[in-house]
Structure formats: structure tokens, C-alpha cells
């Protein structure tokens, strides 16, 4: 099955590629430029060495074209598609120097993104048949958030807020500051609502059952139940009673996610999708002709 992950913002993709290529060869590729004839051409195949879900196929092509627009790069598998070990995912033909120059950056990004997509697909499969939506967090690699969030979508998952600018999400440290100042969370939410635009989403994290009612009563859109046991989550969902979306967070793994989803929560946020995903094993095999 193929999912439609949407697109990566062009400015974000351009920034990542430019930074990565400059980092990898700030003054050119001294190896290829001294060993490989300028007129040598190459055909390279991007091949899967293990099964998974593809993400970053378009990024792979974009890296190649950023190095040399004349290189022909053809994708054989769409992002969001499952593949088997041995499948050829893309083919690249053109200047051997250009292909070698692009190889590492293109592979690094495609491997990282496909690893995230593959891990996400496992979580999504584990909660199938429930109402729970698997979402990522802000625990992303600095500078790569747009790509990693896209990879989550390729795996059938969904995105949480993109950045601190997108929504109000009061977590434990925010609440500690409020408490130290003698401000109740209810008063804080009411004051925030008066200042915010009507489209801004408000979410609050709690870590105890007794915190749920005052937070929901204050009019939040989502309440995050952090590190609750499955039985506590079930009780929390019943207490919220549809007055807000219920998000489960903390202690989520492939071993626990199905039980968490079965409690009736609406959202399960999983930091491991991005901070712990292993890069998938993809290879670029090059045949050089002089």
C-alpha cells in the first residue's frame, strides 16, 4: 500500500541540501577530481539491502540535481511505498564525478528518512483498528525536522505541531513556573485564550488523574496524559468524556503502543519515531564507463 505524504516545503529542502553538500565537499571532491576522468560517465542504482518503506526518493533526486542538473535520475518506487530487499528504487546516469559527489549526501538522507518511515509504519500497523492516531514530536534532528516529519507521513503517521510557533502546549516545566508564581492553570488558560487568535490550538500536559478535570474545564482543545498506565489512560478518557482530544505520551514503544491505543485515546505521540529510528540499509552501486 502507498500513502500520500504530501510534500516537503521547497525552501526547507533547499536549505538542507545546500548545507549538506557544502559540509561534505566545501572545496570540491578532491578524490574524484584527481582520480576520475572528467569525461567519465556512470550509471548507478539505488538498491534496497533490506525491506522497508521508502521516504526521501525525491530528496535523493534533488541532491543529485543540485550537484549536476544534467544527470538523469529516475525513481522506480514512490515515497510511502513498501519495498523488498533487492528492489531497485532509483537509477542515476551521468557524469561519474557528479554521481560520486552526490552519493553520500543523497544516501544519508534517503537512508535516514526511510528508516523513520519504516519505523512509523510498524507503529501504525500496531494500532490498526483503533481510533488512535500515531504522531511524531519535536524530538527531531536539528535542521532536518521538515524531512523527518515528511518521513513520518510516508510511514502512515501524522505530525504534531511543527514548532513552538504553531500552538500552545503547556508542559510540566511551564506548569512549574506558573505554580511557583501562584497562578492556576485554569487562570492561565483563560488569560491565554483572551490573547490568542481563535484558530490557535491549546494543549496542556498532565501527569496525574486529579489534574484532568480543572484542565478540561478551562477549555483546552487537547489534554496530554503523560506516562499514564493503560488503566489510568482508560480512566482519563472516561473522565474527559469527549470534551477534548486525549493524547497519550511517554513510555510508548512497539511493545506498549497497542495496549495504549486500546484505551480509547485519540492521539499517541512517539518521540522514538525520529529520535531513535535506525537508518535503513540502502546502497548505491555504480558502474563507471570511461
Active site residue 193: no
| Nearest CA among 225, 254, 249, 221 for reference residue 237 | 225
Please identify which of the residues 104, 122, 133, 193 carries the catalytic annotation.
104
Beta bridge pairs of residue 53: 82
Distance (Å, whole) CA 235 – CA 239: 6
Q: What grid cell was written down for 202?
A: 491549546
Active site residue 103: no
Active site residue 226: yes
- Report the C-alpha dihedral over residues 102, 49, 84, 254, rounded to 10 degrees: -100
Task: Give backbone dihedrals phi and psi of 42, rounded to 5 degrees, phi first.
Answer: -145, 150
Please identify which of the residues 79, 148, 205, 266 carries the catalytic annotation.
205
Please identify which of the residues 68, 207, 226, 281 carries the catalytic annotation.
226
Task: Give backbone dihedrals phi and psi of 83, rounded to 5 degrees, phi first.
Answer: -140, 165
- Report the C-alpha dihedral over residues 208, 209, 214, 217, rounded to 10 degrees: 130
28: left (phi over 0), alpha (psi -120 to 50) or beta: left
Distance (Å, whole) CA 221 – CA 200: 10
What Cα–Cα distance (Å) separates residue 54 from each residue in 14, 46, 166, 263, 266? 20, 11, 28, 31, 27
The number of helices, as runs of H, and strands, as runs of E, in the chain is: 11, 12
Please identify which of the residues 82, 138, 139, 193 carries the catalytic annotation.
139
Please identify which of the residues 133, 138, 161, 171 carries the catalytic annotation.
171
Distance (Å, whole) CA 55 – CA 82: 10
Active site residue 104: yes
- Residues marked active site are found at 104, 139, 171, 205, 226
Amino acid at each position: 500500500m502507498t500513502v500520500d505524504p504530501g510534500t516537503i516545503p521547497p525552501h526547507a529542502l533547499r536549505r538542507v541540501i545546500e548545507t549538506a553538500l557544502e559540509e561534505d565537499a566545501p572545496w570540491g571532491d578532491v578524490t574524484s577530481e584527481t582520480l576520475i576522468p572528467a569525461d567519465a560517465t556512470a550509471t548507478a542504482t539505488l538498491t534496497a539491502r533490506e525491506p522497508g518503506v521508502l521516504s526521501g526518493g525525491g530528496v535523493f533526486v534533488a541532491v543529485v540535481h543540485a550537484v549536476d542538473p544534467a544527470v538523469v535520475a529516475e525513481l522506480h518506487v514512490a515515497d510511502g511505498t513498501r519495498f523488498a530487499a533487492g528492489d531497485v528504487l532509483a537509477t542515476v546516469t551521468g557524469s561519474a564525478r557528479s554521481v560520486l559527489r552526490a552519493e553520500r549526501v543523497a544516501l544519508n538522507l534517503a537512508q535516514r528518512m526511510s528508516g523513520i518511515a519504516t519505523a512509523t509504519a510498524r507503529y501504525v500497523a500496531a494500532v490498526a483498528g483503533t481510533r488512535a492516531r500515531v504522531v511524531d514530536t519535536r524530538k527531531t534532528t536539528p535542521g532536518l525536522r521538515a524531512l523527518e516529519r515528511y518521513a513520518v507521513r510516508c510511514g502512515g503517521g501524522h505530525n504534531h505541531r511543527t514548532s513552538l510557533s504553531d500552538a500552545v502546549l503547556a508542559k510540566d516545566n511551564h506548569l512549574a513556573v506558573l505554580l511557583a508564581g501562584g497562578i492556576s492553570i485554569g487562570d492561565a488558560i483563560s488569560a491565554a485564550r483572551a490573547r490568542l487568535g481563535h484558530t490557535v490550538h491549546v494543549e496542556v500536559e498532565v501527569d496525574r488523574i486529579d489534574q484532568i478535570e480543572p484542565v478540561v474545564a478551562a477549555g483546552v482543545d487537547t489534554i496530554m496524559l503523560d506516562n499514564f498506565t493503560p488503566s489510568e489512560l482508560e480512566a482519563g478518557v472516561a473522565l474527559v468524556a469527549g470534551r477534548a482530544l486525549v493524547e497519550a505520551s511517554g513510555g510508548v514503544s512497539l511493545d506498549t503502543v497497542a495496549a495504549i491505543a486500546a484505551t480509547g485515546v485519540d492521539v499517541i505521540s512517539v518521540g522514538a519515531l525520529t529520535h531513535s529510528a535506525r537508518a535503513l540499509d540502502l546502497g548505491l552501486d555504480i558502474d563507471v564507463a570511461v
